[in-house]
Structures are given as C-alpha cells and as structure tokens.
Structure 1
Amino acid sequence: MNQASPSTVLPDAAPAPRPSACPGLLRIVAARDGGICRIKLPGGELNAAQAEAIAEASARHAAGVIELTNRANLQVRGVRGGEAAALSAALVAAGLGPDGVAPDAAAGSDAMAKRAAPASNALRAAAADDVRNVMISPAAGRDPFALFDTRPLCAELLTLLQGEARFAALSPKFALLVDGGERLARLDHPHDVWLAASQVRDGVRFVFGLAGCPPAVALSQNSTQARRVDGTGALAAVSPSQVPALVRALLHTFLDLAAADATRMRHLLAAHSVDAVLQRAQTYVDFPLSRDASLASWHRATPADAARRLGAHAQRTTETCHVGGQPPLGRLDAATLHALAALARQQGNGTLHVTPWQSVLLTDIAAHAVPVVLTALNTLGLACDATQAITRLIACAGSPGCAKSLADTKADALRLAARLPENVEVHLSGCPRSCAAAHCAPYTLLAVSPGTYDLYRRDDGHPDFGQCVARQLTIEQAADLLDHLARSP
C-alpha cells in the first residue's frame, strides 16, 4: 500500500500557526494579575535544575506564583510588563522550550505579542511549543500495575509533533493521551486521540479512540460496569511500534478534513463519520485501520485510583516508592518550588513529576526515607492524604487574576474546605469557561456574583456542568446543601 504524504494532500504543507489566546512559553497572555507563561513539561517531568530555574525566573520577572495545571504542566503568573522576553529566554535556556529552540528565539516574544507578523523563527518556535500535548501517567515506567512503559512512546510522539511543519496548524488545545494501564492514571479528561495499552495473547497492543477517554471500569468493588465519558469508544488496535505512524495519520487526516474553524477532533466527527476518518487515515499507513467490531465493548481492565497521587506507594522496583503531595488549589510560590527541587535531589532521583490533579510526585524514594519525605512535604504545606478536604477541591484563578471571573474562587474554596463533607469533590468556577477543570466534576459551584454561586451536580443527562440543583448560594449554604446531598441516597 502506498502511503500518502502531506504534500500530496495539501500543497501548502507548512501553514501559519493558528492564532490562539492560550498562554505558552513564548506567548505571554495578559491577565488581571499580570502575564501568564505556560510551561509544557514532557510527560509532566521536570528535573531539579529546571525547577530551580522556574522558581528563580518567576521571582525575578513575575510575582513568584507557579500554578500546576490540569494537563500536568506549569504556568508562571503575574509576569511583569516588559519582562516577558527575559522570562521566556531564561526558561528556554533551562531546556524547557520545544526541541531545537535557542534562547534567542524567545527574544521576539514581546514583539510577537504586539503585531501580526509573517512566519519567523519566533513564530515557528511558538508553534512547536503549542503542539507539545501528550499526557501519560506521572508513574509511567514505575507503576507496578502498568502493562507498558509509555515514556519512550511519549518522547517519540513529542518529536513527531514538533518535527512536521504542518502540525503547526493544530490548536494548542489539541491533545493526545497514551495510557500504559497504570493504577495512577487520569482517564476522565477528554483527549482528541487516546491510546490505551491492552494485554493480548501475543503481548501488548494499543487500543485507540477519538474525542474522548478510554472506557474504564468503575473503582467500586460493587461495580464492574465500564464507563465512557464521551467520544467514539475503542475503534481498533495497533502494535506499540505502529503508534507513531497511527498518530501521524490521524493528525494529517484531521488537517485534511477539518473545517477552518474546527480546532478539536469532536468538531471533525460532527461533520464526518468515524469510518470516513479511518478511511482517510488508512491512506497514510500500510497496516489496517478498519474498525474492529470485537472491541465494541472493550474497556480498560485495571481500575484507576487518583488517590495514589497522594502519600507513598510502592513502585515496580523493590523497596522504592513514589511519594506525592498536593499544594492548596494547585499553587506554589518560588520558595516552595526551590524546596521541592532540593528534596527531590536529596531523597529521590532529582526529578519532580507534575500530575494532572495539580499535585507533585517524587519518584524513586527509598522505602526507609518515605517518612522523611512525607514530613518535608507536609511542612511545605502540601496535602499528602486523600482525607484532607483541600485535595478534593479545585478552583480557577478567580477575580483577583481573571477579569471574567465573578468571584474570588480560590479564597471561597479555602472557606469551603473547612466545611466540605467527606468524599465530596467540588469544582469552583468563576465563569462558564471552566478553565480549572478539563473533566466534569461531581459538583460544580458556578459564580454568579462575589461570594455567591449556583450549584450543579454531574448528570449524564445534562451537558456541561450537569444539572443545576440550587441557585444563589453563599459558601456556607453550599456547604450545608453538599452535606445533605452527600447523605442522600
């Protein structure tokens, strides 16, 4: 079978990057509290020297506030006027930029934000930064339940995304999930393309689907029902060695078929059938991509457990653990990030892993050192136990940081934490955009004015936040109602 090349499909194989309001390493976006610089971490991984560079740059050029994002990245808030280029250059010099980008490429970031210019080195660098959206488990390669170490695949896909000029046309929100079967895995974030390891008689194959999440088994011991958040479900399976070619084919297919204003795979599927997408992708590969009917009811065999991001859990290597803690509402200051880097050097392998739950994982901790690491994390203000209410709350930047927010959601979340019922998870959003949550939370408090919220409960029969169960609640009233709902059948 002859494989199609992008040039035979689209004569202009290197279009200009899509305009975007998303922050990036080289594109500082203005907010109420200053500029925002988003740092995309390969596989969520950050070495100690890079963590120290971020801490120092954030203190020198911004407000010293670092946020952990729900895509396992970091962002620096409060970038001061006139400091954007210096901040970007410092981060690129620390090896935090896309492949092959030199520090001088960041020097154009201020000018780039002020004018629409033709393709340039700075624009190409920004485009390469935008497409670095591959999520894997923060415990990849170490989780004893994993079927496959996804770290090499993640690196190969990141190289692919940055290496083909045509992919600059993808939206900065276009994202891939590569699931190795770990217990520590985030499976409720919809991705444009997802791949999940599955054990078969002759080894491991990767099942894939579009515009959603891998169908997963409920964690409850009383339920084995598979649940899919949305999307196509499992379509077919390929060998691990075929994954990069498959992803390349699907990305080119998206760019071939998607309308100019379509940014996500779900938009493409609204206009083209799944079979049409697979038929088009087939022209790019020499292995079969037809839909596999035997996978119609496929689901991930191992339940995922988000609580394993907190505290200490055994790794695949004997007598080693990963140890995790969650900063309140996903925010660190520069001093805390410095201290985490030092702790990773002293007790672990010198690496921090940012998780999609806005927490931090230290890996390769000797079992005898676990109590020391847990004490250090607690001293730094990180929660290490799932029973702590703050681990079950997420909140957007709120009105101090965002002009669109109608309430100070972070301050209100801290007030709610003092009264949050056991096992209840709540998302506070200052506006309907839901920047803090890529998933549909069990409960959402949507701000309608300072200190006042409408309460929504997740309901598969209702879109967006779910069903509105009460309006115009204070935080105290919301806490009382959540307690009532938690106790109700």
Structure 2
Amino acid sequence: MPPSPSTRPQAAAPPLRDRGDACPGALRLHRAADGHLARIRLPAGDLTVRQAAVLADAADLLGDGHLSLTSRGNVELRGLAEGCGGRLAALLRDAGLLPSERHERIRNILASPLAGLDRHTPSDVRRWARELDALLCASEWATALSGRFLFVLDDGRGDVAALGGDVSLLAEAEAEPGAAGDRPGPAGGALLRVGDDPAALRIAGPDAPRAALAAAEAFLTAAAASGSGAWRVRELPDGHGLTARDVAAALRSAGIGAAYVPQAPAPGTRTSPPYADSAAPGIVEGPDDDRALSVLAPLGRLSAAPWRLLTAIAADDGSGALRLTPWRGIVLPGLPAAAAPRRLAELTTAGLITDPASPWHRLGACTGRPGCAKSLTDVRADATAALAAGAAVPDGLPTGPASEGLPVYWSGCARRCGHPHGSWIDVLATAEGYRVALVEPDTAPTTTRTAAPPPTAPAPAP
C-alpha cells in the first residue's frame, strides 16, 4: 500500500535554547557561501521610493546586484564583500531604514499587503504596524526578543493570520453608520492571539499596538520563568506556555481593556490557504479610480533593473510607496486606472510575474547552491528546469483536489528555509534525488516518491 501523502507527526519536545539566535540583520551580517548576507527588516513590508532606490544602490555597489524577498516581507542582500558593513549601515541609516540599531533584528511585523487598497477591508492595520514598530524601537526590554519572534497584523481577510505569528492581531470591523450594504468601516477593534492558543482577547482598535507589545513582554516573562531560552511562543515548554488568559493579566496591568473570547475563529483553513488570492499578481481594483499593481519575483529574487522600474512606477504613477508581501511579491498602490494596464505590461516585459495563471505563481525555492553550503544541489536551477519540462515538481504528486492549487517549494536540505505555511507541496533534495510530499497544517512531510534531479534546461519566460 503506498504511503499516505501526509501524516500527523508525534509532538516534538520544545528545544532548549542555550544561546541567542544567530539570525542575520542589517548590522549583523551572515557569512554565506556566496559572500556576506544582510537581512533588512521592513515592518509591514513598507518602503518609500527613496528607500527602495537606496536598496538597489546597495545591491549594485556592495552586493551581487540582486535583491531577495523573504517570506516575512523583508529584503536580503547577498554577495556582500568583506568589510562593507559600515558602508551598508550608513546607506540604510540615511534612508531611514535603521530607526534603531539596537532593535533592528526584532522588527518582524507582517501586515495584510492589500489593507485599504481593495474594496473589501478598509481596516488600517498598516497604521497599527507603524505604531507597533515605534513602540518596539522605544522599548528597552524589547531588545531581548529573538530575531525570529513574529508579529502578525491581519486586516480581517485572513491572508496573513495563518502565517505563524507569535502575537497576532486580527482586525474586526464594524458597520459604518449609514453605509450602503454591509461594507465594514474602520471603527472596529481587534482579536489578539498568542501562538496557537485557540482563545483570543477582544480589544479596542486604538489599543491594538500597545496590546501587542504587552503580549510580547508577557512572552519574555514566561520564557525567563521556564529557563528554556525560548525564542518563540511555540517553544515554551509544558507548564510554562503563554495563553490568552496570561496576556489578559498583562493587559490589565498596562491599563488596556480586554474581553476574553474562548474560541476565536481559526486563523486559516484549507479552503483559504495563504497563497490563495491575497495579493495575487495582476491589477487590484480599489475604490473609485484607484488601482494597485501586484507582481511576484520569480523564486523571490530579482535584479536591480526591474526593482528600479518598480520604484520608478511608484514614483511617477503611484503613491510613492511600495509594499513587499510575505509571498515574495511587491504591491504598488495608488495608480490611476488608465495607467495600470500599461504599467503592468512593462513589468511583464521586465521579467516579473504579473499573471496568476503563470507557472511561476506559487513556485518557490530556498537559496540552494552555490549560495548555501548546506544545500545538496542548485535547487533554483532544478526547479527552473522542471518548469521548463512542463512540471513544477520532478515527478509530480497523484492528481486530485488534495494538491491542486497549492504552493510548491523546493528545498536543498531538510531545514527547508523559507517554506510556506499551511498546506504545500514539499520538494526536498536528498542524496538519492528529490523527495516529493504533500504537507498539511500541523503535519510532517512524508515521502511520496523519489526522482532524479531534472536535466538542465532554459527557463521559460515568466
């Protein structure tokens, strides 16, 4: 009998952390096989055109001329030369990308990329993200947070709520007085969740950023009491876990009102995986004449040339801002309807993914060789070759609804750096070839079949 495409693993004991995390940052560079690597945190993925231009300059002047987009909406620069850290820091500081050098690695804030841009969710979680970032940078104790600790701010559509936040805010909108139909207004509050606790706390919207910060402080208190050195809420050992009730006490101490919700709505389901339609490539219709462009970078990496084109479009026709998404994409807000199709065509010509039907959509890969010494192969070349041969995986999965429309992610080793959340197809390099598995939420990848790496082939145009 063939193995099941996914099985539920036995619960693993939380790790015991006896050191600080080694996550790279803008100031702490990581030595990779292709040179040094810098990771620049962009809370909510927000960039001004000036900041975007500085990142392109840094990639050209100090790195390998490319920018890598991460699953947390951040940017990585690779191929950095020895001794360039001071020059890079000066560029970032002058552009406002280093508001606090002591806090730069903990500014991990995801927010719904389309918040306020389309016709569905006007909740301004982007403003919450800016306020939370300012609170983090002003907090002395927040420097003790790990570079992996994650805040997630969902505008109510459920797109980022399932991305594994340690502290999550889910906006709850209320109907605007006199608004036509049931369109929600911005006067709602938020549900605050910690880790995987099914319960939540209902708080007023203006209190949301302060409440998220208080929840993070409650985590640090729990981690210290456990003696585990935990970096994330899910790593807290039994008997020391953090729940909504624990956070409620912390909120009361901070003067923040909260109502306990014993069973909050699930943050994501199989019918609406994170890759579904949020910020899918194409034109996003907003109210009146407003449009936004959503594009993806093939395998999350692009050269400085298309990045500069994105910056120019944002400056000339857009709102002067860019938003990076946790799906390794870019959203350009504020274009007039007349300009949007022409600009989208320019981005298509530049090699970006602009069509949700593109075979590159939902295809991802880790860095692989030659950039990562731990990788067993050049997974990006292999993924490209498989796509050129007409398949997103080397030997496919059984067809059917279980795997239809899911993201496919190629990994060069068992760490699976940057893999998707929720349901996805795992293509893992091993010494015997690639192993392909269907991964469900809270399940482990299980081998379904093994295939030799695909032959080298030219990449199809995105």
TM-score scaled to structure 2, two decimals? 0.82
**Residues 298/416 of structure 1: CA separation in 2 closer, same or farther (3 Å cut):** closer
2:20 is matched with 19
1:396 aligns with 2:366: yes
Match of 2:171 among 179, 197, 203: 197
Are the aligned partners of 1:399 and 1:406 in contact in 2 as well (CA < 8 Å)? yes
Alignment of 1:393-432 (within 5 A): 393-418=363-388, 419-420=390-391, 423-432=405-414
The offset of 1:347, in angstroms, is 1.9
User: 3-state SS of the aligned residue for 2:91?
Assistant: helix
User: 3-state SS of the aligned residue for 1:447?
Assistant: strand
User: 3-state SS of the aligned residue for 1:403?
Assistant: coil
1:241 aligns with 2:206: yes
Identity %: 31
Q: Which has the higher helix share?
A: 1
1:314 aligns with 2:285: yes
Alignment of 1:200-279 (within 5 A): 203-211=187-195, 231-258=196-223, 259-268=227-236, 270-273=238-241, 274=243, 277-278=246-247
Alignment of 1:348-387 (within 5 A): 348-387=318-357
2:128 is matched with 153
User: 3-state SS of the aligned residue for 2:419?
Assistant: coil
The offset of 1:22, in angstroms, is 1.2
Q: Using the alignment, how far apart are the partners of 1:77 and 1:46 within structure 2?
A: 19
- Per-residue CA deviation, residues 294-344 of structure 1 (Å, 9 max, x unaligned), is x4456689967435431001113x111111111211111122222221122
Q: Using the alignment, how far apart are the partners of 1:63 and 1:142 within structure 2?
A: 34
1:117 is matched with none
Structure 2, unaligned runs of 5 or more: 1-18, 177-186, 393-403, 456-462
**Residues 296/370 of structure 1: CA separation in 2 closer, same or farther (3 Å cut):** closer
**Residues 470/150 of structure 1: CA separation in 2 closer, same or farther (3 Å cut):** same
1:162 aligns with 2:131: no
The letter of the residue matching 1:311 is G
**Residues 298/75 of structure 1: CA separation in 2 closer, same or farther (3 Å cut):** closer
The letter of the residue matching 2:452 is T
Quick one: higher RCO (CA 8 Å, sep 6+), 1 or 2?
A: 2
- Which 10-residue stretch deviates more, 235-244 or 303-312? 303-312
Are the aligned partners of 1:198 and 1:207 in contact in 2 as well (CA < 8 Å)? yes
Q: Using the alignment, how far apart are the partners of 2:174 and 2:311 within structure 1?
A: 40
Q: How many residues align?
A: 408
TM-score scaled to structure 1, two decimals? 0.78
1:444 is matched with 426
- Per-residue CA deviation, residues 231-251 of structure 1 (Å, 9 max, x unaligned), is 112422111122133223212
1:171 is matched with 146
Q: Using the alignment, how far apart are the partners of 1:374 and 1:87 within structure 2?
A: 32
The letter of the residue matching 2:282 is G
CA RMSD of aligned residues (A): 2.5
Q: Using the alignment, how far apart are the partners of 1:40 and 1:407 within structure 2?
A: 28
**Residues 341/149 of structure 1: CA separation in 2 closer, same or farther (3 Å cut):** same
2:452 is matched with 474
